[in-house]
Amino acid sequence: MNVSANISTSLAAKTVLLGVTGCVAAYKSAEIVRGLQKAGVRVKVVMTEHAGEFIGATTFRALTREPVAMRLFDEPGDAIHHISLAKEADLFLIAPCTANVMAKIAWGIADDILTTTALATTAPLLIAPAMNVGMYENPATVENMKMLADRGVQFIEADEGYLACGDVGKGRLAEVDVIVARTLEALEVTCDLAGKRVMITAGPTVEAIDPVRCITNHSSGKMGYALAGAALRRGAQVTILSGPVSVSAAQGVTVVPVTSASDMLEAARACFGEADIAIFAAAVCDMRPVASATSKLKKETAGESLRTIELVENPDILATLAAEKQKGQVVVGFAAETDEVLANGKKKLASKKADLIVANHVGNGIGFGQDANKAWLIKANEVIDVPEMPKDDLADIILNHALELL
Ligand code: C5P
């Protein structure tokens, strides 16, 4: 692949912070610097002291013509160097990344200049791991990678082949051309939502019956959080109004935790006015108990109130806020249906005054909690049939259409 063909004026103003860790493949980082520079990108290097055992800071200093950070306190003119590096980066690429550094980032350990910068930055993080196959496949590494991916960190998968230690298997640093191309791709998409505010409702709402019992809906929050991660990567300022979920948001997303539909409406109203794109992905309970008891209702004495819980309708957050929509705002809703997905989705587009409805099948193990989804995107005069794909990819397609409507 000829990376110089990718030179783009929009990339000229971008800074990639390249993190280099202690691994035999560290020498390839010099080629990564050159590949990115050929595309017009400014590269700064931050390396661990262990990386210094494999490649010298002088090499990177000569290639980048920038200071190279290796120790937390070695920049006399910049007492908090990790913070200035963190802020300067449009993208933080760590290539090669060892299992150790990945584990530290996953757990928030910041004990050197590289991991401290990783903890401080709000720039998208792109990791190209390289290590022995045993380390790559170790459940601890697999868990750490999953944890980071759930938070929106992107990975450039290691290749299979001969490893420096003589073993054969997965763990070789991906090819330099692939790393450069993926980095440029990540930088390009970073731009199209720059300056835009995106708000997303996500997860279930929980309506209290008493302090121990509740009414709720099935929802893992994965779709809403995938949308948040994708919008963030594309440069938006993102706020999630989230019911209780176990997924984590990408670093840099503002999360407002809420419980009930009324809380969610209040929190959503507070950011709707400022939002360019408002996405309503939450599984909001349609009803809530008329009253929530302050103490646990006892089966023996309050059996009747438990057997017959009187319900009242919750506000429709999407419909309420879409009715207040101003010019220049785009509203996206979801329709999770067991039957007549398209027909019901079309009805919702009109009844809720949304600009776009993402309709999908749910029930019988489909939809909820899964990493992939099959959907139809319904607009006023167009229906797009989107094949089943990971929620992260679907998120980008939804954002493409929302952006087009803006
Ligand atoms: O009416 P239904 O619940 O199927 O509509 C789904 C869409 O409406 C979703 O986008 C959901 O987040 C939103 N909704 C809402 N408030 C409600 C009910 C649904 O925002 N009370």
Q: How far apart are CA 269 and CA 315, in angstroms?
A: 12
Q: Which helix (H) or strand (E) holds 404?
A: helix 391-405
**Rounded to the nearest whole angstrom, what is the distance from the C-alpha of residue 315 to the centroid of ligand 1?**
9
Mean pLDDT by 10 residues, the chain (406 residues): 39 86 96 91 95 96 93 72 83 97 97 94 93 94 93 91 82 95 82 88 96 92 93 89 93 92 97 97 96 85 77 97 96 93 95 96 70 90 91 92 94
- For residue 152, give the nearest of 405, 370, 395 by alpha carbon: 395
d(CA 168, CA 199): 46
> What is the model's pLDDT at position 366?
61
- Alpha-carbon distance of 32 to 18, in angstroms, equals 9
| pLDDT for res 303 | 65
Residue 44: beta bridge partners?
17
Closest among 87, 178, 82, 61 to 128, alpha carbons compared: 178
DSSP letters for 70-126: -STT--TT-TTHHHHHHHH-SEEEEEEE-HHHHHHHHHT---SHHHHHHHH--S-EE
With a 6 A CB cut-off, is 337 part of the ligand 1 pocket? no
Name which residue sits closest to atom 4 of ligand 1, judged by CA. 335
Ligand 1 contacts CB of residue 224 (under 6 A): no
Verify whether ligand 1 is closer than 6 Å to residue 335 (CB atom).
yes
Closest CA to 118 of 20, 204, 215: 20
pLDDT at 351: 96
For 159-209, the DSSP string reads: EEEE-TTS-EEEEEPPPHHHHHHHHHHHHHHTSTTTT-EEEEEESB-EEES
**Cα(147) to centroid of ligand 1, in Å?**
29
Sign of the CA dihedral running 36, 37, 43, 45: positive
pTM for this prediction: 0.66
SS3 helix, strand, coil % of the chain, rounded to 5? 40, 25, 35
CA of 351 to the centre of ligand 1 (A): 11
CA contacts within 13 A on the Cβ side of 221: 25
The pLDDT score that the predictor gives to residue 232 is: 86
Report residue 310 as tokens.
């009187």
User: For ligand 1, what atom is nearest to the CA of residue 314?
Assistant: 21
User: Does the beta carbon of 282 sit less than 6 angstroms from any atom of ligand 1?
Assistant: yes
**Ligand 1 test: best mutation among 284, 314, 320, most atoms within 8 Å of CB?**
284
Q: Look-up: residue for tokens 């980095």?
A: 183
Distance 283 CA to ligand 1 centre (A): 7
Q: What pLDDT sits at residue 1?
A: 34
The dihedral of CA 187, 33, 20, 140: what is its sign? positive
pLDDT for the residue numbered 288: 96
Measured CA to CA, the distance from residue 170 to residue 130 in angstroms comes to 9
Atom index in ligand 1 nearest the CA of residue 281 equals: 12
Residues acting as catalytic residues? 165
Determine if residue 63 is left, alpha or beta; phi over 0 gives left, psi from -120 to 50 gives alpha, anything else beta. Answer: alpha
Kind plus residue range of the DSSP H or E element containing 216: strand 214-216
CA distance from start to end of the chain? 35
Phi–psi pair at 192, nearest 5 degrees: -70, -15
Q: Establish whether residue 316 lines the binding site of ligand 1, counting it when its CB lies within 6 angstroms of any ligand atom.
A: yes
